Structure 1
């Protein structure tokens, strides 16, 4: 990826632009996570550690393809997945009629 800015202000403007896109995509991903809770029978299915590792392997490979740092991508995805698992567990409990906190 060949990106060149000439001032710190340009860098910040571009980061702000990307943050808007990233947050929008997080909202979309979160909506799918909430839907996934409907299809999972129990907490183990929500946590799905094998699926987490599949996603991590996939995004690390994608990072290398697009020129991102695989370690950074993995750290970001592990944090994001953990937060989405918490969201999905809450939704799963809600659907099961249990407490959500």
Structure 2
């Protein structure tokens, strides 16, 4: 739960603290995305639209339970997932180019 701030500087300091945590978590999430590229056979499995919608539904539900705005959460997650898909597509392409052909 957020603390009640008494100054704009205090608000900004708390936002900066949260940004540090969010970026750290994004880095960790990105490492798992990179690992996922190894397990996927083709670009369709990288894009995985059904999985995207599962994640969106999950985080919208989570938003309700923690008091976040579900629309904001969905927009942030859609942008984040799109960026990670682009990263994963590039990594997947690199893996398929460098793997030995059978």
Provide TM-score, normalisation by structure 1.
0.94
Residue in structure 1 matched with residue 67 of structure 2 by the alignment: 67
Alignment of structure 1 residues 82-93 onto 2, 5 Å = 82-93=82-93
Provide TM-score, normalisation by structure 2.
0.93
Q: Distance in 1 between matches of 2:90 and 2:68?
A: 32
Q: Distance in 2 between matches of 1:85 and 1:29?
A: 12
Name the SS for the 1:39 alignment partner: coil
Q: CA deviation at 1:45?
A: 0.1
Q: Distance in 2 between matches of 1:2 and 1:84?
A: 29
Residue in structure 1 matched with residue 22 of structure 2 by the alignment: 22
Q: Distance in 1 between matches of 2:77 and 2:42?
A: 23
Q: Which runs of 4+ in 1 moved over 6 A?
A: none
Residue in structure 2 matched with residue 3 of structure 1 by the alignment: 3
Residue in structure 2 matched with residue 33 of structure 1 by the alignment: 33
Instruction: Give the superposed CA RMSD.
Output: 1.0
Gaps of 5+ in 2: none
Q: Distance in 2 between matches of 1:72 and 1:2?
A: 17
